[in-house]
């Protein structure tokens, strides 16, 4: 069920702020894996959520399991920002993502471990729903542990094949803000359903105008989930004429 009621959103935002990277100092020797917070998306847009690691030791790999609301976000891709000899990305069910990264692989020449410190290991591509959420919505991407697996689902691998696991390993959840469109404001000038919007959408349909992600989300005038179409153009004309 979509969770976009006002009180729920305030509660979720407060929890996200408490869990955000940098919100609490790490104890000496502590490690963390963190997802980016406050990434902004328009309906239908695919955005990149950064995955950051901090460790006082060299890092040879990472295992990660996260969940998100499948009615709001869809997994699209993972882009590693370092070379890994093993990259396993699985989306076993809507709203769940498992990631396994290793710098070293038994069948290949080993790569050196990543140096101690803070590093961004990669980016996760998530697509925001096109459906009307009625308001701006913060959607969490949360680390979870699967009770059905015999190992820790979130852990850092050391060069000696040992692992750093919770609670020594801190996990910081991420979040994406999906902005509610101003339907009919196709040219994104702050005024919805004007003659200028009709001309702008007509130019796009004619192939002479490009749309930003914000303009595209605003163009779903009839809210049918298909952005910048002829049906939206017809509905936009009706809205302008009836003003």
Stretch 51-73: mean pLDDT: 97
Looking at residue 43, what is its pLDDT? Answer: 98
Confidence of residue 1 (pLDDT cuts 50, 70, 90): very low
The full set of domains in the chain, from first to last, is 6-178 (2.60.40.680), 195-241 (no CATH)
Confidence of residue 108 (pLDDT cuts 50, 70, 90): low
Instruction: Cite the DSSP H helix spans in the chain.
Output: 6-19, 195-205, 213-218, 230-241
Token couple for 89: 């990305």
For all residues of the chain together, what is the average pLDDT?
A: 89
Residue 166 has pLDDT above 70, yes or no: yes
Confidence of residue 154 (pLDDT cuts 50, 70, 90): very high
Phi then psi dihedrals of residue 200, to 5 deg: -65, -45
Q: What does pTM read for this prediction? A: 0.85
Nearest alpha-carbon partner for 143 in 69, 194, 213, 67? 67
Residue 96 gets which letter from DSSP?
Answer: E
Looking at residue 110, what is its pLDDT? Answer: 76
Stretch 127-136: mean pLDDT: 96
Rg for the chain, CA atoms, rounded? 22
Least confident of 7-16, 45-54, 69-78: 7-16
Dmax (CA) for the chain in angstroms is: 71
Are 39 and 174 within 8 A, CB to CB? yes
Phi then psi dihedrals of residue 218, to 5 deg: -70, -20
- Share of residues in the chain with pLDDT > 70 (%): 86
Distance CA 75, CA 154 (A): 19
Looking at residue 150, what is its pLDDT? Answer: 93
Q: How far is CA 241 from CA 81, 216, 229, 236, 237, in A?
A: 51, 22, 19, 9, 6
Q: What are 179-216's pLDDT values in tens digits?
A: 999 999 999 999 999 999 999 999 999 999 999 999 99
Residue 12 has pLDDT above 70, yes or no: no
For residue 237, the tally of other CB atoms under 10 A from its CB is: 17
């Amino acid at each position: 069920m979509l969770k976009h009621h006002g009180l729920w959103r305030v509660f979720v935002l407060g929890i996200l702020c408490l869990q955000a990277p940098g919100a609490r100092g790490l104890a000496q020797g502590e490690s963390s894996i963190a997802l980016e917070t406050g990434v902004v998306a328009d309906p239908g847009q695919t955005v990149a959520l950064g995955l950051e690691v901090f460790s006082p030791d060299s890092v040879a790999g990472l295992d990660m399991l996260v969940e998100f609301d499948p009615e709001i976000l869809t997994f699209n891709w993972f882009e590693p920002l370092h070379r890994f000899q093993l990259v396993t990305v699985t989306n076993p069910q809507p709203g769940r993502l498992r990631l396994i990264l290793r710098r070293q692989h038994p069948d290949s020449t080993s790569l050196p471990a990543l140096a101690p410190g803070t590093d961004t290991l990669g980016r996760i591509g998530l697509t925001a729903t096109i459906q009307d959420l009625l308001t701006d919505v913060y959607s969490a991407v949360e680390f979870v542990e699967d009770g059905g697996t015999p190992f820790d689902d979130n852990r850092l691998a050391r060069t000696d094949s040992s692992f750093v696991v919770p609670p020594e390993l801190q996990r910081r959840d991420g979040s994406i803000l999906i902005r509610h469109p101003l339907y009919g404001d196709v040219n994104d000038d702050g005024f919805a359903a004007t003659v200028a919007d009709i001309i702008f959408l007509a130019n796009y349909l004619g192939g002479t105008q490009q749309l930003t992600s914000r303009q595209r989300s605003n163009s779903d005038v009839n809210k049918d989930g298909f952005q910048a179409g002829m049906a939206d153009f017809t509905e936009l004309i009706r809205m302008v004429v009836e003003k």
